[in-house]
């Protein structure tokens, strides 16, 4: 009975190590995704702002 408990504890330790590794990988992926999404939003904001600016300027000049 004791040996089975020890074996199951070893398996649990191995599983938690695997989950911790997966967790770290997903955290790194999540950070990269957040950065990419943020940068793309900022990029499109400035891109569309520069597209609309010349038209507004030309309307004001006439």
Distance of CA 24 to the CA centre of its chain: 12
> What pLDDT digit, counting tens, does each position of 38-51 carry?
999 999 998 888 77
Q: Does residue 36 belong to any structural domain of this protein?
A: yes
Q: Does residue 13 belong to any structural domain of this protein?
A: no
Q: Structurally, how many domains does the chain consist of?
A: 1
Q: Does residue 23 belong to any structural domain of this protein?
A: yes
Q: Percent of the chain at pLDDT above 90?
A: 23
Low-confidence stretches of the chain (pLDDT beneath 70)? 1-10, 52-62
Task: Give the integer Cα–Cα distance in Å for 45 and 50.
Answer: 9
At 2, list the tokens: 């004791």
Q: Which domain holds residue 46?
A: 19-61
């Amino acid at each position: 009975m004791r040996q089975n408990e020890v074996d199951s504890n070893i398996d649990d330790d191995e599983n938690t190590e695997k989950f911790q590794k997966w967790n770290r990988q997903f955290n790194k992926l999540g950070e990269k995704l957040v950065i990419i999404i943020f940068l793309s939003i900022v990029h499109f904001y400035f891109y569309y702002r520069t597209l609309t600016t010349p038209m507004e300027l030309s309307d004001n000049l006439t």
